[in-house]
Chain A
């Protein structure tokens, strides 16, 4: 596994490439259309280079300039909690890959079948794979959820349904 600093460097280099790409794309725009994006992308490159230098030359703690601390009166021996959201626990790569897989699976189902069948299959499948409940209970929960989503979005909010990429194939088989 990559160390934290290496991961941070990979992210920073990806950002550099992104900002450079934006500058390159801006060449095709007129002077007014690129008036703001181009200087911002250049500024982004400058900031990212500083960030890369900072995170490699100094200690990681030295990189952080926490505005909560800047605004707060300093008290000896107190350190601001490092972010409530991100990361008290470090996820292992397997769980992380699972999380990407969950989002990916739902996207594939959405594209292939459309929203309502995708919700039904994804939710039921998730309950089964995670072992959250028996298949019968899962079926009941899933049916209730799918019906609720259908009533709310399709009936009440009049959402136009998308039938998925497989719909033409099914039509042809008929």
Chain B
């Protein structure tokens, strides 16, 4: 094993591999910052350029770009509340308030540090646990995935700022919007009104661009002043503070990383769920949850650590079984085919050095992203103080071009605009946009796994799947816990007032 670790690193230390990694990281940062485009786009566009080079160099280019998009996504979420892709959504909740308080440097640095630490934990876990995780993954079926998705829905309560009722309505709307298009189970067109465009469903990145980016620009146009008015709020934080925050909250980083790993290991769950779940667990386990949503640095560190670790987790089923953990891992599988590498149990015997090369790519790639990220943070932190009249046309233009570029359909630009207006109205009347997105993310997962469970095990599938039943109990307890805590607290207050 030690030999594989060394040869994995040696394969990466060639000039070609290092150059490819550097190019991949820079390219990934740019793509990550562009709205609507994330790791999937970054990797798929690189795919044609990967043939004919060293295997380690090719993987360095692809994985380096993918890793860099994580922090790239976070940048625009923190600075403008405009998530580069669904993954960056959770960063808006506390990163953007930190920017408005003059703590953009701290938020960006904490985000980069969180992603670095999460990425390293994920890589170590990947190296250690591939043989151990195999029986766990094989024990989980559609019923258990259904319970995972239901657990994800309990997060909704966390984001229901204002009325919980409105939060639930928003999440229902998100679920129903996700059902637009061809139903994959029954091949029934639903809510398409005969439109060919709607048969493909609403593109998730396009909806995100509208809900957050377009609506934020509408708000900025109405407000007419910069996001951060330097005459009122000066930049009070430093990059070093953010780095220190990452290490100071080491236990949060470890917890969030393990959550990211677990979600990464599960095929098809995805990093967007991971980021939201990390935010929710950070808030639920915090001693001061009232600070969340108003600029708590933990709300920035947790999602980034989770998404950093998610890469290591996502590689696990991809390498061990040839089952991609997500869309980007599916693209990596295509690259494997081009390189003549066959994922599966043989990876752990015949290609162990390649596995360790990927572990090293995650580590070195994350270090490179963090160094570049911390280096450019002081310049990035100045962007929110640009005049609204400069920001609005530029960001709106880039967003709409990004929406068009997602699938090459002009109708997507209309969808982005409609969701922009919807996002603005939801924000105005306090229907949580985050809940809407969570509903959209989890809808298909819930429906598909429910149908498969019913087909495979019948209506009493829960009784036949004890793990799923145990998970359901966990879901109910997790959902009820905040209410029980609140009830106890109120009871204690009443008792205290009485005595």
Contacts and interface: CB of A to CB of B under 8 A. Distances in A.
Interface in A84-124: 84-87, 89, 91, 95-96, 98-100, 102-104, 106-107, 110-111, 115, 118-119, 122-123
Interface stretch (B155-163, B228-236, B242-250): B155-163
Given A47-B172, A80-B290, A87 B428 contact: yes
B183 interface: yes
A98 B450 CA distance: 45
B483 interface: yes
A36 B425 contact: no
Interface string A42-75: 0110011011001000000001111111111110
The bracket for how many chain B residues form the interface is 35 or more
Contact of A66 (B100, B161, B183, B429): B161
Given A25-B191, A47-B172, A89-B223, A123 B283 contact: no
Interface residues of A, number: 78
> Of B81, B162, B402, which is in contact with the most chain A CB atoms at under 10 Å from its CB?
B162
A110 B400 contact: yes
Query: B interface, by DSSP: helix, strand, loop or mixed?
Result: helix
Given A51-B169, A84-B100, A37 B179 contact: yes
A99 to B, nearest CB: 4
A110 B222 contact: no
B385 to A, nearest CB: 15
Interface string B34-53: 10010001000100000000
Contacts, number: 225
A83 interface: yes
A85 B393 CA distance: 21
Contact of A70 (B188, B447, B483): B483
14 contacts: A33-B186, A33-B190, A37-B179, A68-B161, A70-B485, A73-B489, A83-B162, A102-B218, A103-B420, A106-B396, A106-B417, A119-B397, A131-B389, A145-B397
Interface of B: 30, 34, 37, 41, 45, 81, 96-97, 100, 157-169, 172-173, 175-176, 179, 183, 185-186, 188, 190-191, 214, 218-219, 221-224, 283-284, 288-290, 292-295, 387, 389-390, 392-394, 396-398, 400-402, 404-405, 408, 410, 413-414, 417, 420-421, 424-425, 427-431, 443, 446-447, 450-451, 482-483, 485-486, 489-490, 493
